[in-house]
Amino acid sequence: MDLQLKIWRQKNKLNKGEIKNYSIKNIEPDMSFLEMLDILNQGLISSGEEPVAFDHDCREGICGACSLVINGAPHGPDKGTTTCQLHMRRFNDGDTIYIEPFRGNSFPVIKDLVVDRSAFDRIQQAGGYVSVNTSGNTVDANATPIPKPDADKAFEAAACIGCGACVAACKNSSAMLFVGAKVSQYAHLPQGKVEAKERVTNMVKQMDKEGFGNCTNTGACEAHCPKEISVENIANLNREYLLSKIK
Amino acid sequence: MENKAKMLSIKVVAETLNVSQKTIRRHINSGKINSVKLGGVHRISESELKRFMAGEVVDSNANKDSGFPLSNKVPSGPLENKWSKHKGNINLVSPANKRNIDIIVVGTGLAGASASATLAELGYNVKSFCFQDSPRRAHSIAAQGGINAAKNYQGDGDSNYRLFYDTIKGGDYRSREANVYRLAEVSANIIDQCVAQGVPFARDYGGLLDNRSFGGVLVSRTFYAKGQTGQQLLLGAYSALNRQINRGKVDMYSRHEMMELVVVKGKARGIITRNLVNGKIERHGAHAVVIASGGYGNVFYLSTNAMGSNVTAGWKIYKKGAFFANPCYTQIHPTCIPVSGEHQSKLTLMSESLRNDGRIWVPKKLEDADKIRKNQMKPTEITEENRDYYLERRYPAFGNLVPRDVASRAAKERCDAGYGVNKTGQAVYLDFSSAIIRYGKEKATSTGQDTNNIDLIKKLGKEIIKAKYGNLFQMYEKIADENPYETPMKIFPAVHYTMGGVWVDYNLMTSIPGCFAIGEANFSDHGANRLGASALMQGLADGYFVLPYTIGDYLANDIKTGSISIESKEFVEAENAVNNFIEKITKNKSGNSVDYYHRKLGKIMWDKCGMSRNQKGLKEAIKEIKELRKDFHNNVFVPGFSNGYNEELAKAGRVADFLELGELFAIDALSREESCGGHFREEHQTKEGEALRNDKDYTYASCWEFMGEQNHPKLNKEHLNFEFIELKSRSYK
């Protein structure tokens, strides 16, 4: 199939970016979206131009590196799918596709479609852990049984890949789903209960400091989350936060 | 020789080592340093000092006769006591001194992140580097199936010894006994640790941890979190790392690539990095450098590794003197989604855990296979008696759960014989229909529903399969555009893991003093083939429980060094070398892209150094890679600038190293005249086509030493002593 691509090009953080037009031919339906961009880039290189920069690594939907807004939707049109797992069979011959970076005040553009998501790392550093030493002197793993429903809930929250689609999808650029997922994971486990209050306080504080917006319950984050993390986690976050203020 | 060697006084030796004279005397008294008395005073030969600096042990019994230049530092004594004895004997660094010692860790996967976190927790100052935008994205994250541990929670007869034995046997008797036993010994602790960190492993309805089974073993010892075990374990290690970053004990450098190792007076003292965002070349000094940069499967271009996975850190230290061991030991994983076309950029693994419930088959009749390839027939139309469940047929004891190397070769054998099932003829079926019926019946029985209603049974069965492998099935459907609940998956082997890597001793130190290698980057534990769910185990074992102890043995002699200056001439030279490389590689204004060369290299590797190898092909490969490398350096075109974000430039550096590694890989495969594990030489097979090992001549690790760009690398052989296990031919029948 032949396609028209409208791609955000931006030299670096300081320069102003713009949409540029490219046309691309002979794309096969079995190709992944990123393989289509690979082909575009090989063509650009052979004509002496700089290729389009985009983040990607595992290309199996788990590392969370890929981060494109495709036709206005973070990670493109498929539900529960990262950009790298989106295939060209989803598009038609002659389509025009808009490709932009994940946008948000806290995600400055580094180049073209590559953005800086280190704010997420800093939120995790503020409290996204259990303060247990890693030297191995812990109790036996089966000493504390965890009810299966709790373990499953924790797992569902922990499946977050930290890609930032929730922020890109949200009109407020809120990171509540991301933070909520981490807080919920630990809230569902006995190991996480000990420091629950400090954790939620510190993580929310850092989230605010990074400049992420607030949640206004539109649910766009869940709709675009490639791992379909539930907005229930935001409710959990609010509850944990409230609890930390009460006692 | 000895007479000609320069004899040094205790004072000189103490100054060289940056320790007190008292310490040297203590070492002499304890026998750690050999001295001779000349005129009543102790004198130490230069070669003895060199030996001591390299960390070699005087009384090591291993490799005395083999001519191997280093000691592997394996402690003597019974297998099960070696590690505790070693821990009891090695040098420690006091908490006060740890505060003055800096350690660099390159890589933030399971090994790197867990090591960084633990070293920081112990009190060292850690600088951690990764090329990804966040440490959480290291490729350990993509590991699916699980992690082994000898917990014996299932009561099915598991033990440290059995895990040790399975790993040695699975590795086709080409790994170091003591290292593997230690791995088994610390495995149980990993699970305790991870649970304490809040890793949400799968649990049963009683709230206890669940297990499943993997290839090459007869017990259920694999812990898992759906098909995302690697993700959950890595996020656990990442959280431990974050905790230390928050404490200020780890400085995290994301989007940084290690470009060079800096060696000062024979010791690793730092690295040169390139900031991938602004292109700045930076110097970083430390008392020790830990390489945790993963494997080199991307030398094949197409592999299940991430696009950015590379050998650069390992290769740079090889060129500075670290031995590179067994580069030809590569794992070709049997269950990956087949290549769909020329555009393919990477391959996707379908977890080995699927072989718990999936049955592998091809049509029995050639004409059926032909019809399938032409799309004139569906797999579901082939009746039971016309299917060849070739693994169950050839290996009745292990069936579909034979080790990976065996399963991969068997798939290749069937496809080469013309039974392949996709349009290229390079695929076999992985079928879940039996499991769906079996689970459905169980569920119907246990819930009192109609066991004769086949639709109900299928529905119930599919629900159970979904709960177990849902994300994998979804991923398959996305990529292959087929519903694996209804029609069998098509799979084919793909490059997945590299057992070879940087040579390390029992302390995980490379042949460069002060430079360590952990996780997939080293060669130590998996021999010639790795068993499923053992990579995660090794990464975390090295990072949490081994390196943090053993590194002290080296650093205890470094407490007086003080901070490492990055102004020394060695740092300047290393930085210049990096700048020269960048200048040269970016000089062309047109030419072929980096990917063009990478694909070509990958094709040579897959065709001639892949699942089966022969002398002729390997010789051709060596020649072709040499030519390709020359072409690359003359004609590669790297657009853009070096002083900013430039992925082509980053790739160029990585591919330049793959083009060198590829040659060493082929040289190694050529020199090993036997078949073992992932290394299958067509000249060495039994009548039934099984791998034929040669224990008499090849029970050693091939440790290659860099001898300069123009020279052939030198082969050093570390003989593998099997004191506790009898070498047997591997059988899974």
Q: What is the pLDDT of residues B172-209, one digit of tens each?
A: 999 999 999 999 999 999 999 999 999 999 999 999 99
Query: A149 and A81 share a domain?
Result: no
The pLDDT of B419-425, averaged and rounded, is: 93
Residue B524: what are its φ and ψ, rounded to 5°? Answer: -75, -40
Neighbours of B95 (CB within 10 A): 9
pLDDT for position B13: 85
Q: How many residues does chain B have?
A: 733
d(CA A163, CA A65): 6
Q: Which residues of B touch A42 (CB under 8 A)?
A: 593, 595-596
B408 min Cα distance to partner chain A (Å)? 21
Which of A65, A136, A154 is nearest residue B132 as measured by Cβ atoms?
A65
Interface of A with B in 79-138 (CB under 8 A): 80-81, 85, 87, 89, 110-111, 114, 116-118, 120-121, 124-136, 138
H or E segment and range at residue B621: helix B615-635
- Tell me the pLDDT of chain B averaged across its residues: 93
For residue B701, give the 3-state DSSP assignment.
strand
CA distance B691 to B689: 7
Q: Which residue has the higher pLDDT, B180 or B468?
A: B180
**N residues, chain A:** 247
- The interface predicted TM-score of the complex, written ipTM, equals 0.98
| Percent over 90 (pLDDT), chain B | 85
Residue B157 above 60 pLDDT?
A: yes
* pLDDT above 50 (res B168): yes
Question: In terms of domains, do A31 and A55 share one?
Answer: yes
The verdict on A70 and A156 lying in the same domain is: no
The answer for residues whose C-beta is within 8 angstroms of residue A166's C-beta and 6 or more apart is A174, A175, A176, A177, A178, A221, A222, A224, A225, A229
Rounded Cα distance between A100 and B400, Å, is: 45
- Same domain as A163, residue A76: no
- Judged by CB atoms closer than 8 Å, whether chains meet at B307 and A59 is answered as yes
Q: Are A129 and B640 within 8 A, CB to CB?
A: no
What's the CA gap between A208 and A214, in Å, rounded? 9
The CATH label, of 3.60.15.10, 2.102.10.10, 3.40.50.2300, 3.50.50.60, for the domain at B95-148+160-199+222-330+497-557 is: 3.50.50.60
Whole-angstrom Cα distance, residue B475 to residue A63?
A: 14
Instruction: Name the minimum distance, in Å, from the CA of A173 to any CA of chain B.
Output: 20
Amino acid B65: pLDDT: 52
* pLDDT of B89 strictly over 90: yes
CATH T-level topology, domain B566-699 = Methane Monooxygenase Hydroxylase; Chain G, domain 1 (1.20.58)
A156 shares its domain with A217: yes
pLDDT given for residue A247 in this prediction: 67
Chain B residues lying within 8 Å of A158, measured CB to CB: 200, 225, 232, 235
B20 pLDDT higher than 90: no
Give the per-residue pLDDT at A67.
94
Distances (CA, A) of B78 to B167, B417, B418, B700: 18, 48, 51, 21
Instruction: Yes or no: say if A185 and A102 are a contact pair by the CB < 8 Å rule.
Output: no
Q: In what order do the strands lie in the sheet with A18-24?
A: A18-24, A3-9, A96-101, A68-70, A73-74
- For residue B575, the tally of other CB atoms under 10 A from its CB is 18
Give chain A positions within 8 Å (CB) of B590. Answer: 48
Q: Could you tell me what percent of chain A has a pLDDT over 70?
A: 99
Of A39, A131, A146, the CB nearest to B203: A146
Lowest mean pLDDT segment, chosen from A107-111, B144-148, B671-675: B144-148
Read off the CATH number of the domain in which A34 is found.
3.10.20.30
Q: Indicate yes or no: CB of B242 within 8 angstroms of CB of A121.
A: yes
Tens digit of each residue's pLDDT (9 = 90 or more) over B93-150: 999 999 999 999 999 999 999 999 999 999 999 999 999 999 999 999 999 889 999 9
DSSP classification of residue B556: G
CB contact under 8 A, A48 and B207: no
Name the closest residue on chain B to residue A39, using Cα atoms.
Answer: B343
Task: Specify whether A30 is located in the same domain as A122.
Answer: no
What residue spans of B123-262 are helical by DSSP H? 160-170, 177-196, 229-246
Q: Got the DSSP string for A50-79?
A: PPPP---SSSSS-S----EEETTEET-SST
Predicted pLDDT at B5: 57
H or E element, residue B490: strand B489-498
At B609, which amino acid appears? C
Q: Give me the pLDDT at residue A173, please.
A: 98
**Per-residue pLDDT for B62 more than 50?**
no
The reply to whether A199 and A155 lie within a common domain is yes
| Distance (Å) of CA B14 to CA A221, B49, B268 | 62, 10, 19
DSSP string, B93-157: --HHHHTT-EEEEE--SHHHHHHHHHHHHHT-EEEEE-SSSSGGGSGGGG--S-EE----TT-SS
Residue B145: per-residue pLDDT: 84
CA distance B641 to A111: 13
What is the pLDDT, as a whole number, of residue B341?
85
Comparing C-alpha atoms, which of B668, B651, B658, B659 is closest to residue B705? B668
Residue whose C-alpha is closest to residue B284's, from B131, B126, B132, B136: B126
The residue whose two tokens read 């004997």 is B89
Confidence of residue B2 (pLDDT cuts 50, 70, 90): very low
Asked if B661 contacts B309 with a C-beta cutoff of 8 angstroms, the reply is no
Q: What is the largest CA-CA distance in chain A?
A: 65
**Beta carbons of A132 and B252 less than 8 Å apart:** no
Q: Is A199 on the interface with B (CB under 8 A)?
A: no
B383, B388, B393, B399 alpha-carbon torsion, rounded to 10°: -80
Q: Looking at residues B652-677, what average pLDDT do you find?
A: 98
Same domain, A169 and A231: yes
A171 or B15: whose pLDDT is higher? A171
CA distance B1 to chain A (A): 46
CATH number attached to the domain at B333-496: 3.90.700.10
Please check whether residues A43 and A162 belong to one and the same domain. no
Q: Is any Cβ of chain B less than 8 angstroms from the Cβ of A24?
A: no
Contact list, A134 vs chain B (CB under 8 Å): 114, 117-118, 121, 193, 197, 240, 544
- Would you say residue B6 has pLDDT above 80? no
Residue B120 and residue B249 in contact, taking contact as beta carbons nearer than 8 Å: yes
Nearest to B639 among A48, A116, A147 (CB): A48
Q: Are residues A232 and A162 in the same domain?
A: yes
The pLDDT value given to residue B47: 79
Q: How far is B311 from chain A (nearest CA, A)?
A: 15
- Contact between B343 and A35 using a beta-carbon 8 Å cutoff: yes
- Cβ distance A154 to B200 less than 8 Å, yes or no, reads yes
Looking at residue A175, its pLDDT comes to: 98
Q: For B190, name the nearest residue in chain A, comparing CA atoms only.
A: A136
Burial of residue B258, with CB atoms counted within 10 A of its CB: 0-12 exposed, 13-18 middle, 19 or more buried: buried
Chain A positions touching B201 (Cβ under 8 A) are 141, 151
Whether B258 and B219 have beta carbons less than 8 Å apart is answered as no
Q: Which among A50, A78, A89 has CB closest to B481?
A: A89
- CB-based contact B595 A42, cutoff 8 Å: yes
| Residue range of the domain that includes A42 | 3-111
Which backbone phi and psi does B42 adopt, to 5 degrees? Answer: -70, 135
Residue B19: pLDDT band by 50, 70, 90 thresholds?
A: confident
- A69 forms beta bridges with A74, A100
d(Cα A66, Cα A56) in Å, to the nearest integer? 4
Instruction: Tell which of A57, A118, A132 to mutate to test the B interface (max B CBs under 10 Å).
Output: A57
Number of domains in chain A: 2
Q: Are strands A18-24 and A73-74 parallel, antiparallel or unpaired?
A: unpaired
> What is the CATH number for A173?
1.10.1060.10
Q: What is the pLDDT of residues A3-50, one digit of tens each?
A: 999 999 999 999 999 999 999 999 999 999 999 999 999 999 999 999
Contact between A230 and A191 under an 8 Å Cβ cutoff? The reply is no
Helix and strand numbers (H, E) in chain B are 22, 22
Task: Centre a 10 Å sphere on the Cβ of residue A124 and count the other Cβ atoms it contains.
Answer: 27
The values of phi and psi at residue B721, to 5°, are -90, 120
Q: Is the dihedral of CA B296, B300, B305, B308 positive or negative?
A: positive
pLDDT at B8 over 80: yes
Query: Is residue A42 less than 8 Å (CB to CB) from chain B?
Result: yes
User: Is the separation of the CB atoms in B41 and B28 below 8 Å?
Assistant: no
Per-residue pLDDT, B60: 41
Beta partners for B602? none
- How much is the average pLDDT of B576-597? 97
Q: How many CB pairs under 8 A join A and B?
A: 225
| The pTM of the whole model exceeds 0.90 | yes
**A210 and A95 within one domain:** no
Residue B362: beta bridge partners? B388
Better-scored residue on pLDDT, B428 or B468? B428
CA distance B200 to chain A (A): 5
Is the model's pLDDT at B472 over the cut of 70? Answer: yes
Residue A49 contacts residue A11 (beta carbons within 8 Å): no
| B534 closest CA partner among B92, B125, B223 | B223
pLDDT at B30 over 80: no
Cross-chain Cβ contact A134/B118 below 8 Å = yes
Nearest C-alpha in B relative to A157: B200
What is the rounded distance in angstroms from the CA atom of residue A92 to the CA atom of residue A87? 11
pLDDT digits (tens, 9 = 90+) for B498-557: 999 999 999 999 999 999 999 999 998 999 999 999 999 999 999 999 999 999 999 999
The reply to whether A100 and A128 lie within a common domain is no
Q: What is the pLDDT of residues B340-388, one digit of tens each?
A: 888 999 999 998 889 989 999 999 999 999 999 999 999 999 999 999 9
Contact residues, chain B, for A49 at CB < 8 Å: 639
Task: List the structure tokens of B52.
Answer: 């001591």
With CA atoms as reference, the chain A residue closest to B306 would be A58
* Cβ–Cβ below 8 Å for A192 and B198: yes
pLDDT in the model for residue B286 = 98
